[in-house]
Amino acid sequence: MSSEKAEQIASENISLTGLAGRYAVALFEIAEEEKSLDRVADELAGLASFLNDNEDLQQITTSPIISLANKSTAMAALVKAANFSKTVKNFIGVVTNNRRLDQLNNIINEFNRMLSHHRGEVNASVVTAYKLDKKQLDALSKKLKSMVGSDVNVETEVDETLLGGMVVRLGSRMIDSSLKTKLANLEATMKEVG
């Protein structure tokens, strides 16, 4: 793949729709205006880690039973303990007051997509039948980099139903070399013949 093609992939317009997209765009624009994109991204990464690792926080953000006052108190304590910037503090306040805490992970994911696009980074989603070790992941990253001509952020996922091989999504393109798909294609071909 030429470097021209890599630029096309990296510069593809990303589509942000829905609630999470609107919040992410607003936060991104504020952070960009304040020239604090990196700090906001780091703080959101920390927030995402808190959300993923803390069951109590998951309960607070997703439970409709917990009152808005209790959610506000908990989130204010989190912001203070984490020493988040004013931008992230205000963002969490708005999300909390608008009763959208259940969308925090989605908003953070959309923000990260925008940031990657802004930086000209190419993201690849790789689904394999088994977990890749460091050597395999490095080789895959190197191969993808050679295909697009720039660094590629690789996110991996395991789906044992693939049986073998992998499915790679690079921008809006998909490369499916999974054994599951190959067997399905073979089955379809055999039905046509017989």
pLDDT at 14: 53
| DSSP assignment of 98-151 | TT-GGGHHHHHHHHHHHHHHHHT-EEEEEEESSPPPHHHHHHHHHHHHHHHSS-
Please count the other Cβ atoms lying within 10 Å of the Cβ belonging to residue 83: 10
Tens-place pLDDT, residues 139-193: 888 888 888 777 787 888 888 888 888 888 876 677 877 777 888 888 888 888 7
- Calculate mean pLDDT across residues 8-14: 42
Query: Do 9 and 62 form a contact (C-beta atoms < 8 A)?
Result: no
The 8-class DSSP code of residue 162 comes to G
Looking at this protein, which amino acid is placed at residue 21?
Answer: G
- The residue assigned the tokens 């921008």 is 171
Domain spanning 3-116: CATH 1.10.520.20? yes
Q: Which helix (H) or strand (E) holds 175?
A: strand 173-176
What is the pLDDT, as a whole number, of residue 11?
40
Q: How confident is the model over 38-57, as pLDDT tens digits?
A: 999 999 999 999 888 999 99
Q: How far apart are CA 146 and CA 169, in angstroms?
A: 16
Amino acid letter, 104? L
Which of 49-70 are b and which e, b meaning 16 or more Cβ less than 10 Å from the residue's Cβ? ebbeeeeebbebbeeeeeeeee
How many C-beta atoms surround the C-beta of residue 177 within 10 A? 12
Q: Summarize pLDDT for 42-101 with one digit per residue, the tens.
A: 999 999 998 889 999 999 999 999 999 999 999 999 999 999 999 999 999 999 999 999
pLDDT band at 7 (very low <50, low <70, confident <90, very high): very low
Look at residue 6 and tell me whether its pLDDT is greater than 80.
no
In this prediction, residues 111-136 reach a mean pLDDT of: 84
Average pLDDT of the residues of the chain: 84
Q: Show the tokens assigned to 63.
A: 């439970």
Local structure of residue 15 (DSSP, 8 states) = -
Helices H / strands E in the chain, number of each: 9, 4
| Total Cβ atoms within 10 A of residue 7 | 15
